[in-house]
Amino acid sequence: MTQQHITLITGASRGIGFSTAEYLARKGHLVIGLARHVPEKTFPGEFFTVDLSDRDATTEILANLTKQYSFDGIVNNVGIVHPQPLEEVTLDNFEAVIDLHLRVAIQTVQAVVPSMKAKKWGRIVNVSSIAGLGVPYRTSYAAAKAGMMCFTRTWALEFVKSGITVNAVAPAKIETKMARSIFSAGSEEEKRLISGIPMGRAGKPSEVAAAIGFFFSEEAGYITGQILYVDGGCSIDIHPYYKAR
């Protein structure tokens, strides 16, 4: 009998995180979700409320969860944006963005890797962004997402002999509440952004979830250290919108 996969997802209450939870649950995973907000819809697994920006709270929840569950998968999805021109970037905001993306990813992977190594099987998927290639007014966010790409390649090499693969997805504009909080529907800024996507539309969280789900499949077992752009074609050639405005 095939053992059920147990997968941890950060930032799981909505958007890409919630859609990924739904996708993996349909594939038979026991999904454990973490976020500071309670999901608006019934979560397809076990959900725990925690403020991951709190280092001690993160340490405590991970210690408790790893006693209850033998994880073999993780999706590092939690993050914030704080869009600002360089002259307005504050060190507090910069540290908050870097911390929530990178520190949390380090903590979660450190917590779950022992059980993955014991099983000689594991999947780590980091949610990066096309912003990691450089986007105006995203100094903090771009640095954080580029960091997630670097984590992916570095950890892939560290764990390659342990049966653990490490990959990343890098979306462009995805229709989520976070994105909507930055660009209002139909605004000139949103139209400008959409014009920079060769497919001419924003992506859906479910489309990113499917890409993440692929990396969890047995068929993807020979793929590690890769960045999969889920971006409507943006990464083929960076559109003028992303080069200058």
Q: What is the pLDDT of residues 58-109, one digit of tens each?
A: 999 999 999 999 999 999 999 998 888 899 999 999 999 999 999 999 999 9
At residue 218, does pLDDT exceed 80?
yes
Residue 186 pLDDT more than 60? yes
Q: What share of the chain is helix, strand, coil (3-state, %, to 5)?
A: 50, 15, 35
Question: How does the average pLDDT of the chain come out, rounded?
Answer: 91
User: Do the Cβ atoms of 142 and 81 come closer than 8 Å?
Assistant: no
Q: Is 141 an active-site residue?
A: yes
> pLDDT tens, 25-57?
999 999 999 999 999 999 999 999 999 999 999
- Please give the pLDDT value at position 185: 61
Q: Is pLDDT at 182 greater than 70 in this prediction?
A: no
Residue 193 has what pLDDT? 74
Pull the structure tokens for residue 136: 């105006």
Highest mean pLDDT among 78-87, 170-179, 220-229: 220-229
Identify the sign of the CA torsion 220, 116, 4, 171. Answer: negative
Which pLDDT score is estimated for 178?
61
What is the per-residue pLDDT for 142? 96
Fold (topology level) of 6-243: Rossmann fold (3.40.50)
- Among 33-37, 163-167, 203-207, 241-245, the range scoring the smallest mean pLDDT is 241-245
Annotated catalytic residue: which of 23, 69, 137, 141? Answer: 141
pLDDT in tens, 123-144: 999 999 999 998 888 999 999 9
pLDDT for res 66? 98
Residue 44 and residue 46: Cα distance in Å, rounded? Answer: 7
User: Which residue has 């919630």 as its token pair?
Assistant: 18
